Structure 1
Amino acid sequence: MTHPIRVLLADDDRLVRAAIETILRAAGDVELVAQAGDGRQTIDLTLLHRPDVVLLDIRMPLLDGLAALREIRRIAPAVQVVMLTTFGEDDYVAQALHAGAAGFLLKDSAADELANAVRAAAAGEAFLSPKVTRQVLDRLPAPPAVSPADLARVESLSSREREVLILLAQGLSNAEISAQLFVTEGTVKTHLYRVFTKIGCENRVQAAMLAQRAGLLN
């Protein structure tokens, strides 16, 4: 029997926590192991429960979400962290992604999107719907100039790998990339593994940001 995905929910707004709790408990394959109302408590409960996924609000009291994210990545690197945010927090989002967040989720996301985000993070994949991916990239501050090392990694990609990276950065899911390129999802996963290895990115979010910096979306 497959074990449920163990989730720690961290948000200082009790109403937000209550709404998300309802969605997670209805998912069927998710176990809410604990809830935290500030950043310091989030770290303590992460160490205590070792959840598969932490849903972490970017703005938190005592220790903000970004600091909590960095500490979780340091002390429990196997724990996947998905940031909870609202639009208008672009600077925070950019910092969170660079700090190793598996992705981020809008607080008003649909129930199925939230549950799918948890499942994707637990599987080691960042979840970003096509709409959210493009909006995030469009709303982030102007990207820094791509480094020569990053550019060399991008240039090491084959034409098909570069095509897959561009589609990923446009927000397409594996299934959508498969349909676009007329290949199987297994083939897409193989391409993505090679892309991540060559460009030195851990997840889809970081890869999308690198594609943006490298000018592949222009």
Structure 2
Amino acid sequence: MTIKTAIVDDNSFLISAVKEKLSFFEGVSVKFTAINGSELLELLNENHNLDVILMDIEMPVLNGIEATEIVKQKYPHIKIIMLTVFDNDENIFNAIKAGADGYLLKEVNPEDLHNGIVETLNGGAAMNPSIALKTLKLLRNPIQIQNEKEKEDITLTTRETEVLEQLSKGLSYNSIADNLILSTGTIRKHIENIYKKLQVHNKLEAVQKAKKNNLI
């Protein structure tokens, strides 16, 4: 049986490179290529008799993750393997959430690409080792990725971190003031700033959020 594939990438050079890798294998035929998710959806509208789509992530108009979600809803029989330059955590997490069946890096050699496609069609998941490792980590610690965005926005000063650490030990404002050799008023001001930065309203929330974001 011939494996019917489509390649979606906004870089024509990379489409050619993937086509060339697949040309080594007789059982694979590239039915069409598209330069973004939107073009892919138009082409699928005309013909969705496909087995697998090799999908880039970073594309204009409609990116690979958004396109994957739509394709999976409309044509659940089509397998989707993300082919990307990046193996960053957020992309992996979002691609998996969108329903991607596999995730390979673009520099994958022809044999591994072919094996990945066959494996995915047989119900497995194509993944290169570094991505498999990251996926495991994400599964073990899903909180981390959800807070990746939050984490970037929260920066506490060294002094605020010290105050927060003392606060997490359950110390009173007076004790913290004594320990850090500051006035209680100054401690209050620091705590006010901490609450504002963390967007919380009480000590418990502040400590929980700070721990979640590895601030303390």
* TM-score, length basis structure 1: 0.60
Amino acid of the structure 2 residue aligned with 1:91: E
Listed one character per residue, the Cα deviations across residues 147-176 of structure 1 (whole Å, up to 9, x for unaligned) are: xxxxxxxxxxxxxxxxxxxxxxxxxxxxxx
Any idea what SS the aligned residue of 1:91 has? helix
Say if 1:126 and 1:88 are closer, same or farther in 2 by CA, change over 3 A: closer
Any idea what SS the aligned residue of 1:134 has? helix
Residue 89 of structure 1: aligned partner: 88
Residue 15 of structure 1: aligned partner: 13
> Structure 1 regions of 5+ residues with no counterpart?
146-218
Any idea what SS the aligned residue of 2:23 has? helix
Bigger RCO of structures 1 and 2 (CA < 8 A, at least 6 apart): 1
Cα distance in 2 for residues equivalent to 1:141 and 1:84 = 24
Say if 1:88 and 1:26 are closer, same or farther in 2 by CA, change over 3 A: closer
Say if 1:125 and 1:63 are closer, same or farther in 2 by CA, change over 3 A: same
Of the three residues 6, 22, 25, the one matched with 2:23 is 25
Say if 1:123 and 1:47 are closer, same or farther in 2 by CA, change over 3 A: farther
> Structure 2 regions of 5+ residues with no counterpart?
145-216
Amino acid of the structure 1 residue aligned with 2:86: F
Amino acid of the structure 1 residue aligned with 2:113: L
Residue 170 of structure 1: aligned partner: none
Residue 125 of structure 1: aligned partner: 124
Residue 113 of structure 1: aligned partner: 112
Structure with higher Rg: it is 2
Is this contact kept in 1: 2:87–2:105, CA < 8 A?
A: no
Is this contact kept in 2: 1:69–1:101, CA < 8 A?
A: yes
Any idea what SS the aligned residue of 2:42 has? helix
Percent same amino acid among aligned pairs? 29
Shift of 1:47: 3.1
1:121-200 to 2 correspondences below 5 Å: 121-138=120-137, 142-144=141-143
Residue 74 of structure 1: aligned partner: 73
Residue 58 of structure 1: aligned partner: 57
Cα distance in 2 for residues equivalent to 1:95 and 1:132 = 13
Cα distance in 2 for residues equivalent to 1:119 and 1:18 = 20
Listed one character per residue, the Cα deviations across residues 101-149 of structure 1 (whole Å, up to 9, x for unaligned) are: 101110011111111111122222211244541255458994239xxxx
Any idea what SS the aligned residue of 2:32 has? strand
* TM-score, length basis structure 2: 0.61
Any idea what SS the aligned residue of 1:144 has? helix
Structure 1, 46-55 or 58-67: larger mean CA deviation:
46-55
Shift of 1:92: 1.6
Cα distance in 2 for residues equivalent to 1:93 and 1:131 = 11
Any idea what SS the aligned residue of 2:142 has? coil
